Amino acid sequence: MKKLFLFFFYFLLTLSLQANTVTHLKIEGAIGPSTSLYLSEGFAYALENNSTLILLSLDTPGGLSSSMREMIQEILNTSIPVVIYVSPKGARAASAGTYLMYASHIAVMAPGTNIGAATPINLIKAPNAQDINVSKTSLQKKVINDSVAYIKSLAQLRDRNISWSIDAVKEGKSLSAVDALKKGVINMIAENEDELIKSLEGKRLTLSKQSLTLSLKNAQHLYYKPDWKNRLLSIITNPSIAYILLMLGIYGIFFELLHPGSIYPGIIGLISGVLALYALNILPFSFAGLLLILIGIILMITEVFVSGFGILDLAGLISFSLGSLLLFDADTLG
C-alpha cells in the first residue's frame, strides 16, 4: 500500500512539473526556411511538454518575407502565449524581426537593442536604365501596401502602436528599446531572462479571446536547440548564400547551353538551382528533396554508361545526400 501511495505521489508530482514549464527558443541571424522549420518544431516541442509559455530570444537583421509569414502564422495560431525577447544587449529585431515582434503576445527588449527598418526589399533588383531615382514601380507599391496592411493588422490585434509600424515599413524608421517602450511598440524592457520571468509573473493577457494570468513560479525551464540538420540548413538558406547559389545555378546552366556536353557546369548549375529555390522558399522542402534525390540517382546511373572519371558519381552522391537531408529528420539520418 505504501509503494502504491508513493507511486501516485510521484505521478502527481511529475504532472504538476510538466504542467508549468517554459520552453526557450533562440533565433540568431537571417530569417529563412530553416528558421521557420526550427520555430515550428520548437512549438511542437512546447506542446508536447505542456508548456505554459514560449520565450523566444531574437536577434535578426531580417530575412525572407515568406518564411516570416509562416512563422507569424505559427505564433498567431498557437495555444501557448509567446514572448519575444530581443536580446542580448546590442541585438536587433530589424525588418522581418519587427513583424515577429508585433505578432508576439508580449514584446520585450533588452537595453541597447533596436527595432524597425521594416521596408521590404527585393533580393534581386534590376536597375532602371532610364532613371535610377524614378518613383516606385507599381509592383513595389503593391509590396509596400501589402506589408503596411499586414503589420497594421498585427498592431491592431496586439493593441500596439499602429502609426509607427506604418512608418517602419514606408520610411524604414527604427527605434531604441527605450523609445519603443515609450511609443507603445513593445510591452517592457528587461535586463536579462531572469528579470523578464519575474516581470511576467501574474501578468494578464488575452489568448484566443480568453483572459489568462501567467503563473511562472517554480516553472521548469526547457531549452529547445536546433539540431545539426537545422544548423546546416541555416547556412544554406542564408539569403546571401541563397543568392550565390542562384547565380551559380543560372550561370552553370547558361554555360552548359552555350557549350553542350560540358556536363559539369550543368550539374553544378542544376544542383545549385534546386538548392537556391528551396533557400528562397520558392520550392517546398519535400519537392526540393525529391528533385535532388532524383538528380543524384540519374547522375550515378549515367556514370555507368558515360566515363566521368567518378565525378558524376561524386556529384550524384552529393545531390542524393542533400535531398535526403531535406526529406528526413536528423534522428533518421543519424
Question: HSE-up of 156 (CA within 13 Å, CB side)?
Answer: 7
CATH fold group of domain 2-225: 2-enoyl-CoA Hydratase; Chain A, domain 1 (3.90.226)
Q: What is the dihedral of CA 61, 247, 69, 31, to 10 degrees?
A: -30
pLDDT of residue 132: 40
Whole-number pLDDT of residue 333: 55
Residue with cell 483572459: 211
Which residues on adjacent β-strands are paired with residue 93? 60, 115
pLDDT (0 to 100) of residue 16: 46
Q: Which of 36, 51, 57, 95 is catalytic?
A: 95
Would you give per-residue pLDDT tens digits along the chain (334 residues)? 555 444 444 444 444 444 589 999 999 999 999 999 999 999 999 999 999 999 999 999 999 999 999 999 999 999 999 999 999 999 999 999 999 999 999 999 999 999 999 998 876 554 444 444 444 577 788 889 999 999 999 999 999 999 999 999 999 999 999 999 999 999 999 999 999 999 999 898 888 778 888 988 888 999 999 888 888 888 888 888 988 999 999 999 999 888 887 788 888 999 999 999 999 888 887 889 899 999 999 888 887 777 656 778 888 899 999 998 888 776 555 5
pLDDT at 309: 66
C-alpha distances out from residue 179 to 99, 109, 151, 225, Å: 17, 11, 19, 32
- Angstrom CA distances, 256 to 250, 260, 310, stand at 10, 5, 19
Considering 142, 182, 198, 225, which one is annotated as catalytic? Answer: 142
**What pLDDT is stored for residue 286 in this prediction?**
81
pTM equals 0.83
Contacts of 26 (CB under 8 A, 6+ apart): 56, 57, 225
Q: What integer pLDDT is reported at residue 52 of this predicted model?
A: 93
**Most distant pair of Cα atoms in the chain: their distance:** 89
Q: How far apart are CA 18 and CA 10, in angstroms?
A: 12
Residue 95 appears among annotated catalytic residues: yes
234 is catalytic: no
Q: Residue 310 contacts by C-beta under 8 Å, 6 or more apart in sequence?
A: 303
